[in-house]
Structure 1
Amino acid sequence: MSGHARLQHSDGPWVRAAGGAEALHTHLAPARAELEKSHEGLLAGESAGHFAVLRELAAVRESWVRRVGTAQGECGSLAGKLRAVAREQGATDQAVRESFGPRTDVPAQPSPVPHLAPSPPASGPTPPSALYFLGGSDT
Structure 2
Amino acid sequence: MEDAGSGRGRLVHADAPWIRAAGGAEALYTHLGPVRSDLEKAHEGLSASEAAGDFAVLGELAAVRESWLRRVSTAQGECGSLTGKLRAVARGHGATEQAVRDGFGPLTDVPAQPSSLYLLGGGDAGGSEK
Same fold? TM cut 0.5 = yes
Listed as ranges, the matches of 1:1-139 within 5 Å are: 1-2=3-4, 3=6, 4-44=8-48, 47=51, 50-102=54-106, 104=108
Distance 2:9 2:98 in 1: 17
Corresponding letter in the other structure for 1:17: A
Q: Distance in 2 between matches of 1:26 and 1:51?
A: 35
Root-mean-square deviation over aligned CA pairs:
2.6
Structure 2 regions of 5+ residues with no counterpart?
Answer: 110-125
> How many residues end up aligned between the 2 structures?
109
AA partner of residue 86 (structure 1):
A
State the alpha-carbon separation in 1 of the partners of residues 73 and 52 from structure 2: 25
Moved over 4 A (4+): none
Alpha-carbon separation, structure 1, partners of 2:35 and 2:60 = 20
Q: Is the 8 A contact 2:50 2:58 kept in 1?
A: no
Deviation string, structure 1 residues 74-94 (Cα, Å, up to 9, x no partner):
111111110000011111111
C-alpha distance in 1, partners of 2:86/2:108? 33
- Alpha carbons 1:21, 1:75 under 8 Å: kept: yes
Unpaired segments ≥5 residues, structure 1? 106-113, 117-139
Q: Which amino acid aligns with 1:100?
A: F
C-alpha distance in structure 2 between counterparts of 1:93 and 1:49, whole Å: 68
- Identity over aligned residues, as a percent? 70
Equivalent position amino acid for 2:27 in 1:
A
Structure 1 contact 48–55 (Cα < 8 Å) conserved: no
**Following TM superposition, by how much is the alpha carbon of 1:36 offset from its aligned partner in structure 2, in angstroms?**
1.4
Q: Over alpha carbons, which structure has the higher Rg? A: 1
Q: Is the 8 A contact 1:48 1:54 kept in 2?
A: no
Give the aligned residue type for 2:33: A
Please report how far the alpha carbon of residue 58 of structure 1 lies from its aligned counterpart in structure 2 after TM superposition. Answer: 0.4
Higher RCO by CA contacts (8 Å cutoff, separation 6 or greater): 1
Which has the larger share of helix?
2
TM-score between both structures, scaled by the size of structure 2: 0.72
TM-score, normalization: structure 1? 0.68
Q: Which amino acid aligns with 1:18?
A: A
Partner letter of residue 59 of structure 1?
A
